Structure 1
Amino acid sequence: MCELYRIRHSEFLRWPTSDRHKAVMYQLRKGECCPDCGTHPDLTDPRRGGHPDAVVMAPVHCRVCEIRERGMQRWERDKKNYPAGTTLRVQPAPPPGEATDAEHHHDHDVPRSTSP
């Protein structure tokens, strides 16, 4: 618990007993969730009050995922132009009007190479 909350054990012991119990129980409950999708079995298990069809698959559009996907496609094509060890990450865009190398790339997905 202390590692998770990044506190000393003595600090954890100063928490009210009910808060310590809640923190432990929360972690135990999280441990029962599917490691792949994060769903707790209660949601779909009728023996636990759930329903087998409690969830459905539905297409969802996310602009950030779209940018990331296009950026990764360009990255696969252009990564040879970058120094070894260069990676991509999604990060906030600079404020409007603030010039960056990325602004020179047509849709800001992948920064321009600084290599000659």
Structure 2
Amino acid sequence: MCRAYQIPHSTFLGWSHDDRSKAIWQYVREKQRCRGCGTRPDEWQTDHGGHQHAYRPVVDRCRGCELLETEREQLAGKPTGSGVFVRLERRD
């Protein structure tokens, strides 16, 4: 819990009971999220207030991701050495 909030345990214990309870609730709620799609099971379960059609898939495109993937493809198979990665740099 304290690792998630990046605080010492003693600091967390110094919070009010209400604040600690809310922090724990939020932490548990976030841990329930699917790592793939970001939804929680109860959002889909009608017996928990969810709906089987709670979300719909939408195709989107990020120009930054597109550029990164293109550059990675161009580097594939080329001798670049260890530790090489592609990043975006802002043009000024």
Structure 1 residues 45 and 72: alpha-carbon distance in aligned structure 2, compared to 1, 3 A threshold: same
Segments of 5+ residues of structure 2 without an aligned counterpart are none
Query: Residue 87 of structure 2 aligns to which amino acid in structure 1?
Result: V
Q: How many residues align?
A: 92
Aligned residues: CA RMSD? 1.7
What TM-score do you get using the length of structure 2 for normalisation?
Answer: 0.84
Distance in structure 2 (CA, Å) of the matches to 1:50 and 1:23: 23
What fraction of aligned residue pairs are identical, expressed as a percent? 33
The one-character-per-residue Cα deviations of 1:77-100 (angstroms, maximum 9, x if unpaired) are 4x31x2x21321323324x2xxxx
TM-score under structure 1 length normalisation: 0.69
SS of the residue 1:61 aligns to: coil
Q: Secondary structure at the match of 2:74?
A: helix
The correspondence of residues 37-116 of structure 1 with structure 2, limited to 5 A, is 37-77=37-77, 79-80=78-79, 82=80, 84-94=81-91, 96=92
Q: Spell out, residue by residue over 1:7-64, the C-alpha distance to the aligned partner (whole angstroms, 9 max, x if none).
A: 1111111112211111111111122222322211122111111111121222101111
Unpaired runs of at least 5, structure 1 = 97-116
Runs of 4+ in structure 1 off by over 6 angstroms are none
